[in-house]
Amino acid sequence: MSKLLVKILYVCALCFIINQNTLAQQQKYALIIGVKSYQYVAPLQNSLNDAHDIAATLKKKGFTVVELYDPATKRVMLDGILKYFKLLQDQDNATGLVFYSGHGMQVKGVNYLIPTQANPQIEADLDDQCVNMDYVMRAIEQAGNELNIFIVDACRNNPFRSFSRTGEKGLSMVDTPNGSYIVYATKPGSVASDGSGRNGLFTSKLLKYMNSEGLNIEQVFKNVARDVAIASGDTQRPWIASDYTGDFFFTPVSEVLDTKLVTKPIVKPEPVAPTIAIAKDYTHSETSGYSVKVGMQTWFSKNLNVDHFANGDPIPEARTPEEWSRADANKLPAWCYYDSDPLNGQTYGKLYNWYAVNDSRGLAPKGWHIPNNKEWTVLIEYLGGEATAGLSIKSTTAWDENGNGNNSSGVEALPGGYRNPDGTFGPLGKYSNWWSSSEYNSYSAWYYLLSYSNNGVGRSSYSKGCGISVRCVRD
């Protein structure tokens, strides 16, 4: 490697560290509200623990924190919000964060945060006794600072039975102010349980990834959403809305990269050894016998299992965790077998990162393509909708805890696991995942999920460095 290239790499590494450290030194403020000891409805188990632990974590990360625990009335809540607002005012480059853990509810599309002494008997009482979430949103927008993060772990059932006949569950979607990043513990219209440990499920994952070095805000919350969905058996799926286009790190990289690593010559990948011949394998020119017609669409009836692009170029195999994570870091296409065992290819096909899916050389065989979100929706709606379509897609065997389907569609989804961006593997027997060709943002893309615990079909977004299965649909 030339000395000039070494210097360029070193300068780029230093710029990356300096950029993250600059972000870490910006003014950062947080408002933490935890409500547990409700007087007229059942108290919550871990909402105060969640609030205390988030506050302590943020203080260690340089945040000035306004703390509000068990506020008795709406006025007390509003005073805390106003105090926080004044800290942010006239600080264009400041980062703000609001975390609320407590009872939350929606009535006719309006979300409310509930203090301990609230006891509304009719809907008109809500505006007098509870805090309309729109008030917080307007305060965030008026502050005008660069980034505002709003985290709501409050998507629980309406606790006041006196006017709960509307059947509205969870919280509703809100407008996203400029420069904001809004996260619900579960998607709008759904509910989340209070939990049984020290922290709720959502907050426990949030604490974990806030302390993970080098993850930007997008990566933190995508990891949280993935872990919560998996741990809950896909019954709780966090929801994210963002109008923020920059980078923010809760825990920036703390040490300058070792110059030995920076200046180490880039080693070209060794030629990939020929793959072991697999029974029923197929190439880009041999796809007959592996398709099924579903409505007006024709789908592969097994997962993609090719190791070269449509133009003939090989797709690199990443066997080790280091090879896999390096492909992600460099945004390069890669594939692997589950657990790096070629025998798993016979049953489950290959796992691909999204860089392989999106490669211009074409991952799908000629005459086929990777389905986008709209095409997935057509399939799901034809099979009965997202709540039940999984029953007709899942295979009749191999799913844990008798989570098998009837495979009436012929698509025959097997629970083939997945590979995380760090190279570790998720479990076999529990989940079937397929990439969509639709991108979510620069870090993640959409994928579709089946779970052993229910017959639904879920959609979420995850890091492009994840390794999951691929199905194809005919052009």
User: Is 224 in the same domain as 358?
Assistant: no
Environment class of 265 (CB within 10 Å of its CB; exposed 0-12, middle 13-18, buried 19+) = exposed
The backbone region for 132, taken as left when phi is positive above 0, alpha when psi lies in -120 to 50, beta otherwise, is: beta
Q: Which residues contact 99 (CB under 8 A, 6 or more apart)?
A: 30, 31, 32, 33, 51, 54, 55, 151, 153
- CATH number at 76 reads 3.40.50.1460
Do 236 and 229 meet the contact criterion of CB atoms below 8 Å apart? yes
Is residue 250 included in any domain, yes or no?
no
Q: Where are the alpha helices (DSSP H) in 384-439?
A: 389-393
Is residue 266 included in any domain, yes or no?
no
Q: Which residue has the higher pLDDT, 145 or 101?
A: 101
User: Is 306 in the same domain as 424?
Assistant: yes
User: Is 201 in the same domain as 138?
Assistant: yes
Is residue 259 included in any domain, yes or no?
no
Q: Residue 298 is inside which H or E element, if any?
A: strand 297-300
Is residue 326 included in any domain, yes or no?
yes
pLDDT value at residue 256: 35
Is residue 423 included in any domain, yes or no?
yes
pLDDT value at residue 456: 87
Do 135 and 72 meet the contact criterion of CB atoms below 8 Å apart? no
Q: Which two tokens stand for residue 188?
A: 């709008």
Is residue 372 included in any domain, yes or no?
yes
Tell me: the pLDDT tens digits for 266-304? 343 343 333 322 223 344 444 445 788 999 999 998 999
Mean pLDDT for the stretch of residues 159-163? 58
Q: Which is nearest to 46 in space by CA: 194, 203, 211?
A: 194
Is residue 268 included in any domain, yes or no?
no
* pTM listed for this prediction: 0.51
Q: Which residue has the higher pLDDT, 277 or 99?
A: 99
Q: Which residues contact 276 (CB under 8 A, 6 or more apart)?
A: 342
User: Is 200 in the same domain as 296?
Assistant: no
Total number of domains constituting the chain: 2
DSSP-derived secondary structure for 120-153: -SSTHHHHHHSEEHHHHHHHHHHH--SEEEEEEE
Q: What integer best gives the mean pLDDT of the chain?
A: 80
Q: Which is nearest to 157 in space by CA: 144, 173, 172, 170?
A: 170
Tell me: the pLDDT tens digits for 372-388? 999 999 999 999 998 88
236, pLDDT greater than 50: yes
Q: By residue range, what is the domain housing residue 341?
A: 282-474
Tell me: the pLDDT tens digits for 260-275? 333 334 343 343 333 3
Mean pLDDT for the stretch of residues 343-359? 92
Q: Where are the beta strands (DSSP E) in 360-408?
A: 368-369
User: Is 352 in the same domain as 464?
Assistant: yes
Q: Is 246 helix (H, G, I), strand (E, B) or coil?
A: coil
pLDDT value at residue 22: 43
User: Is 341 in the same domain as 229?
Assistant: no
Main-chain dihedrals φ then ψ at residue 474, nearest 5 degrees:
-70, 140
- Strands 110-113, 335-336: parallel, antiparallel or unpaired by DSSP? unpaired
User: Is 138 in the same domain as 217?
Assistant: yes
pLDDT value at residue 124: 83
Under the banding of pLDDT at 50, 70 and 90, the label for residue 171 is low
User: Is 149 in the same domain as 232?
Assistant: yes
User: Is 185 in the same domain as 286?
Assistant: no
**CA of 445: how far to CAs of 102, 128, 156, 372, in Å?**
32, 43, 28, 10
